[in-house]
Structure 1
Amino acid sequence: MPFPQSGCCRCGATRFEVAAPPVLTAACHCRGCQRMSSSAYSLTAMFPADAFRVTSGSPVRGGLQGGQLTHYCCPACKSWMFTRITEVPDFVNVRPTLLEDAGWFRPYIETMTGARLPWAEVPAEHSYEGFPDMEEFGRLLQQFGGWFDSPERAGMG
């Protein structure tokens, strides 16, 4: 997958770029993500913070504000674009379907399966009823690079 990759909100008023591969991909089944996405789960691609930049527009805070998460949306169309997590400041969680080429995306992990809707299935390699603890999270980050670059996964795009 070539970098940089660009993306935008639904209306195109707010644009961004990622300059490096993701460090992890996920689907989250929590009720908050279900409500934010109006779907069974949200998708996320976690990028290094220094590889992410807004190239046009001025995202505004939306959804859940304060606490551990800050969600950013386009001020014009209100698309949920990315999330910054207080506990993990070195990364930005981007909605991967906003990228111009989202065909590469596949979730490596799924989280909060305790809130999963009965019919919602995700082809993730790892599944967690809640969130992985920090030790497990570190292991997942290490394993993801090899999985992401594997020929088997690349053929799934």
Structure 2
Amino acid sequence: MPSGSCLCHAVKYQYKGEPISKAICHCQTCHKLSSSSSVNLLVPTDHFRLTAGKPQLKEYHLTHESGMHMTTHFCGECGSLLYKTADKPEFAGDVIVLAGTVDDPQAWDEAKPDAEFFVGERASWWKGVGGARQLSGFT
């Protein structure tokens, strides 16, 4: 069962099964949240659970540039963004896990994106991922 944590390891999580999808998002919100584009794993909420640190977990609510409402979940101790939830129908009932928080280094190999979102906002020097759908938004 894959597990992950924040930088200081105060907040930990696990999820079971294969992610529904894996995507890089180049939107401005992800740029601000992660200081770059973000690699995301979409996991069903009922396959995801916190295993430590619930008191340290903080939330921030925002409106994404697409209009959806998003909640970011981060460690109140070290500030690491761990996962996001959103009200967009495509994300309802799912957790958007930041792949960089998964503890197993092999997870990066397994996190190869099947899609890239907001490719018009991708840095010009960043080449598209071969085989990944290149989308102007989330769809």
Whether the TM-score (by the shorter chain) exceeds 0.5 is yes
Q: Take 1:121 and 1:56, find their aligned partners in 2: how far apart are those partners?
A: 37
Moved over 4 A (4+): none
Conserved? CA contact 1:107–1:122, under 8 Å: no
Q: What amino acid maps onto 1:34 in structure 2?
A: H
| Bigger radius of gyration | 1
* 1:55 maps to 2:58: no
Amino acid of the structure 2 residue aligned with 1:76? E
Q: Which has the higher contact order (CA 8 A, sep 6+)?
A: 2
Aligned residue among 28, 31, 36 for 2:28: 31
The residue identity in structure 2 corresponding to 1:113 is V
Query: Which residue matches 2:120?
Result: 114
Give yes or no for contact 2:43–2:97 (8 Å, CA) kept in 1. yes
Alpha-carbon distance in 2 for matches of 1:5, 1:131? 25
In proportion to residue count, which structure has more strand?
Answer: 2
Asked whether the equivalents of residues 112 and 129 of structure 1 are also in contact (C-alpha less than 8 Å), the reply is: yes
For residue 8 of structure 2, the aligned residue among 4, 7, 11 is: 11
Q: CA RMSD in A?
A: 1.4
Post-superposition shift, 1:129?
1.4
Structure 1 unmatched ranges of 5 or more:
133-157
Q: Deviations over 1:82-102 (max 9, x none)?
A: 001112321100011211222
Q: TM-score, normalised by structure 1?
A: 0.76
Q: Tell me, what secondary structure is at the counterpart of 2:84?
A: strand
**8 Å contact from structure 2 (residues 15, 48) kept in 1:** yes
What amino acid is aligned across from residue 57 of structure 1 in structure 2? G
Task: Provide the identity percentage.
Answer: 28
Q: How many residues align?
A: 127
Q: TM-score, normalised by structure 2?
A: 0.85
Once structures 1 and 2 are overlaid, which stretch shifts more, 66-75 or 47-56?
A: 66-75
